């Protein structure tokens, strides 16, 4: 079973971002408990180049980098 790699893009520590992070953490702990998970949180305000490279439009955006669907 390959590792699940998730990237969450947020724009600053907004309530919306906080909610997305906590929802995601809960999902990983409860529903994906049996899998190996790696979650990276990227703040586009701090690292806009990363957002540019990944062509992120909206925030919060969750990208599943691997495994492919």
Partner 1 sequence: MCADQIERLPTGITGFDHIANGGLPKGRTTLVSGTAGSAKTVFAAQFLAAGIKRGEPGVFVTFEETPEALRRNMLGFGWDIARWEAEGKWAFVDVSPQPEEELVELGSYDLGALLARIEHAVRSIGAIRLSMDSLGAIFTRLNDSRVVRNELLRIVSTLRRLGVTAVLTAERTQEYGEIARYGVEEFVSDDVVILRNLLEDEKRRRTVEILKFRGTSHQKGSFPFTVIPGEGIHVIPLSAIELKQRSSSVRTTSGNAELDRMCGGGFFRDSIVLVSGATGTGKTLMATTFMAAGVRQNERSLLFAFEESRDQLFRNAIGWGIDFEQMERDGLLRVICNYPEVTSLEDQLIFMKAEIDRFRPQRVAVDSLSALERVATIKGFREFVIGLTSFIKHQEMAGLYTATTPTLLGGSSITEAHISTITDSIILLRYVELFGEMRRGLTVLKMRGSSHDKDIREFTIDSRGMHIGRPFRNISGILSGQFTHIAPSEIDRLSAMFRDDEGDEPARDTAPTN
Contacts to partner 1 by CB under 8 A: 9-12, 14, 16, 20, 44-45, 48-49, 51-52, 55-61, 69
- For residue 16, CA distances in Å to 8, 10, 21, 26, 63 come to 12, 9, 9, 16, 17
Q: Nearer Cβ to partner 1, position 12 or 67?
A: 12
Joined tokens for residue 64: 């599943």
User: What's the min distance (Å) between Cβ of 28 and partner 1?
Assistant: 16
The answer to whether 59 and 10 have CB atoms below 8 angstroms apart is yes
Q: Nearer Cβ to partner 1, position 34 or 68?
A: 68
């Amino acid at each position: 079973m390959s590792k699940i790699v998730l990237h969450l893009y947020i724009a600053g520590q907004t309530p919306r971002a906080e909610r997305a992070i906590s929802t995601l953490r809960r999902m990983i702990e409860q529903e994906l408990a049996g899998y190996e998970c790696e979650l990276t949180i990227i703040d586009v305000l701090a690292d806009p180049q990363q957002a540019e490279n990944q062509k992120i439009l909206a925030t919060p955006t969750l990208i599943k980098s691997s495994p492919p669907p």
